Amino acid sequence: MADLLERRQQQIEQLCAAAIRALSGEAKLHFRGGRLHRGNARLPDFAPHLHPSLEDDDFDSFRGAADGLALRLKHSDAALHRGGRPDGRTARVLFELLEQFRVEALAAPQMPGVRRNLQHRFDAWSKAFHASGLTETFSGLLLYTLAQVVRARVHGGAVLEATEDLIEGTRGRLVALIAADLAALRRCRHDQAAYARHARKIAETVAARLGDLDDLEDPGDDSGDAGNNPLRFSLRIDVDGQDEADVPVAAAERSGAFEGAHAGYRVFTTAYDAQHAAATLVRPALLREYRERLDRLIGKRRLSAMRLARQLKAVLALPDEDGFEGAREEGRIDGARLAQLISTPADRRLFRAERIQPVADALVTVLIDCSGSMRRHVEAVAMFADLMARALDIAGARSEILGFTTGAWHGGRAARDWQRAGRPRHPGRLNERCHLVFKDADTAWRRARPSIAALLKPELFREGLDGEAVDWAVARALQCEAARKLLIVMSDGCPMDGATQQANDAGYLDQHLLQVVQRHEAAGRVQILGVGVGLDLSVFYSRCRAIDLGDGLQPAVLDEIVQLIAARARR
The closest alpha carbon to 389, from 405, 365, 368, 360, belongs to 365
pLDDT of residue 382: 95
pLDDT of residue 570: 37
Angle between helices 164-187 and 89-105 (to 10 degrees): 70
pLDDT of residue 68: 94
Same domain, 344 and 480: no
Same domain, 326 and 443: no
Same domain, 354 and 365: no
Evaluate whether residue 72 is within a structural domain. Answer: yes
Task: Reduce the DSSP state of residue 461 to 3 states and report it.
Answer: coil
Same domain, 25 and 108: yes
DSSP-derived secondary structure for 22-36:
HHH--TTEEEETTEE
Evaluate whether residue 262 is within a structural domain. Answer: no
Evaluate whether residue 257 is within a structural domain. Answer: no
Same domain, 192 and 290: no
DSSP-derived secondary structure for 94-119:
HHHHHHHHHHHHTS-TT-HHHHHHHH
The closest alpha carbon to 382, from 362, 410, 403, belongs to 403
Number of other CB atoms surrounding residue 516 within 10 Å: 20
Torsion angles phi and psi, residue 484, rounded to 5: -135, 145
Same domain, 60 and 12: yes
Q: Which domain holds residue 455?
A: 267-314+360-570
Task: Reduce the DSSP state of residue 75 to 3 states and report it.
Answer: helix
pLDDT of residue 215: 44
DSSP classification of residue 249? B
CATH label of the domain that carries residue 479: 3.40.50.410
Same domain, 352 and 365: no
Same domain, 563 and 480: yes
Same domain, 106 and 207: yes
- Name residue 406's beta-bridge partners: 433
How many distinct structural domains can be found in the chain?
3
Q: Specify burial of residue 185 (Cβ count, 10 A radius: 0-12, 13-18, 19+).
A: buried
What are the mean pLDDT values of the chain's consecutive 10-residue runs (571 residues total)? 62 89 89 73 82 85 94 93 86 91 94 94 92 84 92 92 91 91 93 94 89 44 37 39 53 73 83 94 95 93 89 78 58 63 62 64 94 91 95 92 94 93 91 96 94 94 94 95 92 90 87 92 92 88 88 88 73 34
From 214, 246, 278, give the residue that closes a domain.
246
Asked whether the CA dihedral 415, 417, 419, 423 is positive or negative, the reply is: negative
Same domain, 442 and 542: yes
Cβ contacts of residue 192 below 8 Å, gap of 6+?
A: 75, 76, 77, 80, 81, 99, 102
pLDDT of residue 278: 94
Task: Reduce the DSSP state of residue 367 to 3 states and report it.
Answer: strand
Evaluate whether residue 548 is within a structural domain. Answer: yes
Evaluate whether residue 253 is within a structural domain. Answer: no
Please state, in angstroms and as integers, the Cα–Cα distance from residue 43 to each residue in 30, 35, 85, 247, 251, following that order.
10, 8, 17, 10, 15
Evaluate whether residue 109 is within a structural domain. Answer: yes
Same domain, 158 and 116: yes
Which run of H or of E encompasses 361? none
From 304, 339, 358, give the residue that closes a domain.
358
Instruction: Tell me, yes or no, if the pTM score tops 0.75.
Output: no
Evaluate whether residue 483 is within a structural domain. Answer: yes
Same domain, 349 and 213: no
Torsion angles phi and psi, residue 433, rounded to 5: -70, 135
Evaluate whether residue 255 is within a structural domain. Answer: no
The closest alpha carbon to 17, from 42, 40, 35, 3, belongs to 35
